[in-house]
Structures are given as structure tokens and as C-alpha cells.
Amino acid sequence: MRNVTALTQRELAASFLSPVAYIVAAVFLVATGYLFMSNTLVDGGEASVRSMLNSMAWLLVFTMPLLTMRVLADEFASGTIETLMTAPVTDIEVVFGKFLGVLVFYLVLLATTLVHVVLLFVYGATDVGVVIYGYIGMILLGALYVSVGVFASALTRYQLVAAIIGMGVLSVFTLVVDAFAAWYGGTWREVLGYINILHHFGDFSKGIFDTKSIVFFISGTVFFLFLAVKVLESRRWR
Amino acid sequence: MTKTFGNLRAVDGISFTIEEGEIVGFLGPNGAGKTTTLRIVTCYMPATSGSASVAGHDVFAESMAVRRLVGYLPENAPLDVHMRAREYLNFRGKIRGLDRAARESAIKRVTDLCWLGDFIDRPIHQLSKGMRQRVGLADALLHDPKVLILDEPTIGLDPRQIRETRNLIRELAKRHTLLLSSHILPEVEATCERTIIITGGKIVASGSPSELKERIRGGSRLFTEISGPGAEVKKAVSAVSGINNVNCESDNGWQRLTIEPEKGSDPREAIFKMVKEKGWTLRELRLEVGSLEEFFVQITAGQMQEVQS
């Protein structure tokens, strides 16, 4: 656990020192603010976080992989993976420490979007329960996205490739399954709905409590972290 | 142990033992399998077959125990360049399980040991190659490991830094069991008690530098110049015991002889006595011990031919 803390701290420091993280954060916040302004802060706009959270979930498909691309790809590119993996730390600790590092950075980023929620309370009454539940959903969604990103970063030494793989995988479980469900309809719609991240997230942003969705996010996160550990192992062993 | 990458046998049935407190050089041309061997011993990758153990702990089954005992400097000393040297060492101390006080004193110790001085508070990306190598070495020494493994510790350094690093390595050898690799022979000759020569993933020779020298084919050579009638001088020299082969060249009444003595024999005294008896004049008598370098080239070239044929 101590190793995980050390790795998390280091990863977090690297995030806060990296210009990439700041640029990504800025772009994400500007886009979120713009969508909030044009969808919610308009005449007849719905005084709820639903629309904003849904657009954030969508934006993160393309922004999260840019935050995670560095974590393992850079270790491979610079060769520091060798010093890291010959120190007394396990592969699991490395993957989990890096996962937590980016997750904490994301949580800070997420906290800044609470500004919009404050605005909602100023301009119109809104349901506190729905806001809290929506943000719990954002945390679970973020964890899943980070785990996918860490997995993608474990696959390659090129950060850009890691980002593209991450975006690709996330797209499959969001936009692509959505398109297929719309295309085929019927039973397919239902089946594909089970693996659609945004579909599960819809419950949270609407404020519906569904253990199925919670289980989906947590098991998805664990699954991709597990894959990342296996990839890390096999890349060292080859 | 053996390690294969696809069809390539990078390490092909290597077996060796290093005693506690020994300082051993791993010598071989580039691509001989040195780094792969070191990576297996340091638990970075497992062997395809065979096993290795450090201080009684198997590198695969008791990986964490081995990692705690070993300080490893990989080739080119990869470092986290975004950090300051002190931050980096602090992080490395943390993942090695040192508490705050232990980290502080350890960093102080390695800073002095590796002459990091004021550079300890500089961002690593500002440091020169030699300085980075020292930071890497400082990292390897941070937890005062029993076993120190250095992969090409002087590669890319300037001559002054190479000398300093060698002195440091000799200093370290007093406290640690040391295994270092190099493709430069004088490097190993200057620092190590024992050398293991490896090519094509196999050990081709092993022993102390002087033992290896003795194994040079044909051994050493004698050069001598004697004034006297050519054929007779050659015949007389050949008759001296302990001589394999004599080559004679005439030069202005002087016979310049190149003599291959039998392994382990030194016929210089006998030659002098013979010359004195015959009443000739002797103006040179010199024994040339083959260099380890020659041996190294010979042995690795032989290996190359074997591979090609």
C-alpha cells in the first residue's frame, strides 16, 4: 500500500507538472462551460445537471486518454520501466498507483465543474440528491475511463498511439454501440445497451439508483486494470 | 539459464556463480546477451528455461526478496527527467520501503559517495550524461544493497569521468558484491577480480585477467636479437628446451628471432646461457605477454566464424 501511495504521489506530481495535462484540462473545462451555457443556461433550459453531465461523459471519451496516455508508455519509452520493475514493487502496485494518480487529477478537474452547479442553485432550484448522485456517477465513469486509458498506455511506448487506442476503446463502448443499437434495433438494442457506458451513465445523470450500473462501472474498471497488469507483465517478459 | 526472443537465443545455457564480496566483470561484444542476463538476475524478465538465484533467493519465486537485496543500474541510467535529483531519489527510497529519516540519511550518504554535490537539487533534464550516470548509481546504492549490478557503467562518459567511476567502483567493491558488464576490455581488466567472457549468448571463457592471459593460444612470445651465423643461431635456439617454434630474420649480421615458447615455460635464462657459451652477442631478449584484448578478439572472432559456418 505504501508503494501505491508513493507511485500515486509521483504520478500526480507528474500530472501537475505536465503542460499536456493543463491544456487538456483547459480544453475540457471550456467545452463543458460552453455546452452548459448553450444547453442549460438558456430560456426554457432544464434546471438540472443532467445535460451537463451527459456532455461531460461524452467529452471525456476524447479527453481522458490524453491524460492517461503518458503513464506507462513514457516509462517504456524512457526506459525507466526497468528501474521501476526491478525495485521491490509488484506489477499490480504499479498499475494501481498510476490509476489512482490520474484519477485524483481527474477528481480535481471534476471539482472545478461544481461552479456550474452553484450557478444552477443561484438561478433556479435544483435537486441536491440528483446532483450528488450525478457526481457519484461521474466519479465511477471517470474511474472506468482512466482504467481504459492506463490499459491503452501499457500497450505501447508511443503516447500518441496510447491516446488513440484509448479513444478507440472508449468510443466502441459509447458511440459505436450506440450507433449499432440504433441501426439494428430490437433485441440488439437491449444487448448492446448492457455494454454501453453512456447508457449506464444515463441512470446516474437522471438520478436513478440502479445497482446494475454501479456494478457495471466497478467491474469494468477492475477488468481493464487487470488487463493492464497482464499486458505489463507480458511486455516485460517478451 | 536460457532466454529466447522468438527464434533468437539471446542467452544460451549460461551458468555461473559469484561468491560474496567478489567483483566480477561480464565482458562481451554488443549483442552478446550481457544485458539480457543481467535483466534476468535483477528480476526484470524471467528466463525461458533454467533458474537464477541471488543470495539464496530464486529470482522468479522470491522476486521481491531479490529486488530488496540488489541495486541495479541499467544501461544508460534511465531516470525520470522531469524530477529533481533529490525528488527522484526520495521517490526511489519510498518504493524501497525506507521511512523519511532513513531516506534523508540515505540520500545524504549517496550524494557524498557519488559526488553529486549541488547537482542534487537540479532538475535531471539539465544534468550532463555523466551526472545522470551518477544519479543512477546513487539510486542503485540508496538502500545499501548487498549486491550491486551495473550494466555498462562507464558508457558514454569522458575519460576523466571514466577514471572517477572506476575508482568509485573499486571503492564500492569493498562493501558490495559487484557484477558489472562492459564491452570494453580495459574497463574490466582495470576493475574486476574475475572476468566472464560471453559471446552469442554463451560463456566462452572465465577466470582472473592473469588466468585468461595464460589461456591465450600459443601463450606469450619471445623476441631476441643475436649476432652470429643465421642457420647456426636458429638451430642452437631451437635446441634450447621449452621452445616450440622459432622464426629467424637476418638484419646486418644480426639475427632477429621470434620465439614461441611452450605453454608455461620461460626459456630466457637458457637462451642467455646458450649465447654466452657460443660466444655470440645478445642485444635484445624480451618476453611479450599476450594482451587480454588479443585474447578477447581471438575468442570472439572464433565464435563469429562458428556462427557463420
The 8-class DSSP code of residue A40 comes to T
Asked if residue B305 is part of any domain, the answer here is no
Higher pLDDT, B163 or A219: A219
Asked if residue B279 is part of any domain, the answer here is yes
* pLDDT average, residue stretch A46-62: 89
Q: Is B64 on the interface with A (CB under 8 A)?
A: yes
- The pLDDT assigned to B214 comes to 65
> Residue B290 — very low, low, confident or very high, per pLDDT cuts 50/70/90?
low
Closest alpha carbon within chain B to A79: B78
Q: Using the 3D structure, point to which of B178, B197, B214 is the last residue of a domain.
A: B214
Q: Is B101 on the interface with A (CB under 8 A)?
A: no
Kindly indicate whether the ipTM for this predicted assembly is greater than 0.85, answering yes or no: yes
Asked if residue B205 is part of any domain, the answer here is yes
Q: Is A185 on the interface with B (CB under 8 A)?
A: no
- The pLDDT assigned to A168 comes to 97
* pLDDT average, residue stretch B154-180: 87
Q: Using the 3D structure, point to which of B214, B244, B279 is the last residue of a domain.
A: B214
Per-residue HEC secondary structure of chain B comes to CEEEECCEEEECCCCCCCCCCCEEEEECCCCCCHHHHHHHHCCCCCCCECCCEECCEECCCCHHHHHHHEEEECCCCCCCCCCEHHHHHHHHHHHCCCCHHHHHHHHHHHHHHCCCHHHHHCEHHHCCHHHHHHHHHHHHHCCCCCEEEEECCCCCCCHHHHHHHHHHHHHHCCCCEEEEEECCHHHHHHHCCEEEEEECCEEEEEECHHHHHHCCCCCCEEEEEEECCHHHHHHHHHHCCCEEEEEEEEECCEEEEEEEECCCCCCHHHHHHHHHHHCCEEEEEEEECCCHHHHHHHHHHHHHHHHHC
Closest alpha carbon within chain A to B45: A237
Cβ B44–A88 below 8 Å, yes or no? Answer: no
Same domain, B30 and B123: yes
Same domain, B189 and B280: no
* Beta pairing class for B8-11 and B3-5: antiparallel
Cβ A88–B64 below 8 Å, yes or no? Answer: yes
- Say whether pLDDT at A69 is over 50: yes
Asked if residue B301 is part of any domain, the answer here is no
* pLDDT average, residue stretch A78-86: 93
- The pLDDT assigned to B213 comes to 66
Same domain, B29 and B89: yes
> Tell me, what CATH number does B237's domain have?
3.30.70.100
Asked if residue B93 is part of any domain, the answer here is yes
Same domain, B197 and B237: no
Asked if residue B182 is part of any domain, the answer here is yes
Grid look-up 508503494 returns A3
Q: Could you say which of A78, A87, A90 has the minimum Cβ distance to residue B96?
A: A87
- The pLDDT assigned to B188 comes to 81
* pLDDT average, residue stretch A1-19: 89
Same domain, B106 and B249: no
* Beta pairing class for B53-54 and B23-27: unpaired
* pLDDT average, residue stretch A201-228: 91
> Residue A124 — very low, low, confident or very high, per pLDDT cuts 50/70/90?
confident
Asked if residue B298 is part of any domain, the answer here is no
> Tell me, what CATH number does B130's domain have?
3.40.50.300
Same domain, B172 and B80: yes
What is the value of pTM for the model shown?
0.84
- The pLDDT assigned to B308 comes to 47
* pLDDT average, residue stretch A168-181: 91
Closest alpha carbon within chain B to A235: B45
The residues spanned by each domain of chain A are 2-237
Cβ A86–B68 below 8 Å, yes or no? Answer: no
Which structural domain, as residue segments, surrounds residue B186? 3-214
Q: Is B146 on the interface with A (CB under 8 A)?
A: no
Same domain, B202 and B162: yes
pLDDT-wise least confident of A29-33, B66-70, B159-163, B296-300: B296-300
Higher pLDDT, B68 or B189: B68
Higher pLDDT, B221 or B216: B221
Q: Using the 3D structure, point to which of B214, B237, B264 is the last residue of a domain.
A: B214
- Say whether pLDDT at A1 is over 80: no
Q: Is B9 on the interface with A (CB under 8 A)?
A: no
Q: Is A237 on the interface with B (CB under 8 A)?
A: yes
* pLDDT average, residue stretch B154-181: 87
Same domain, B247 and B176: no
pLDDT-wise least confident of A20-29, A107-116, B131-140, B237-246: B237-246
Same domain, B44 and B160: yes
* pLDDT average, residue stretch B180-197: 84
Cβ B72–A86 below 8 Å, yes or no? Answer: yes
Q: Is A128 on the interface with B (CB under 8 A)?
A: no
Chain A positions in Cβ-Cβ contact with residue B40 (cut-off 8 Å): none
Q: Is A1 on the interface with B (CB under 8 A)?
A: no
* pLDDT average, residue stretch A198-222: 90
Q: How far is A15 from chain B (nearest CA, A)?
A: 11
Same domain, B202 and B226: no
* pLDDT average, residue stretch B276-302: 76
User: For chain B, what is the domain count?
Assistant: 2
Cβ A90–B78 below 8 Å, yes or no? Answer: no
- Say whether pLDDT at B301 is over 90: no
Same domain, B15 and B62: yes
- Say whether pLDDT at B264 is over 80: no
- The pLDDT assigned to B307 comes to 47
Chain B positions in Cβ-Cβ contact with residue A17 (cut-off 8 Å): 82
pLDDT digits (tens, 9 = 90+) for B67-126: 999 999 999 899 988 889 999 999 999 999 999 999 999 999 999 988 888 899 999 999
* pLDDT average, residue stretch B154-175: 85
Radius of gyration over every alpha carbon of chain B, rounded to an integer in angstroms: 25
Scanning A83-112 for CB atoms below 8 A from B yields 83-90
Chain A positions in Cβ-Cβ contact with residue B68 (cut-off 8 Å): 88
Same domain, B37 and B176: yes
**In chain B, what percentage of residues exceed pLDDT 90?**
38
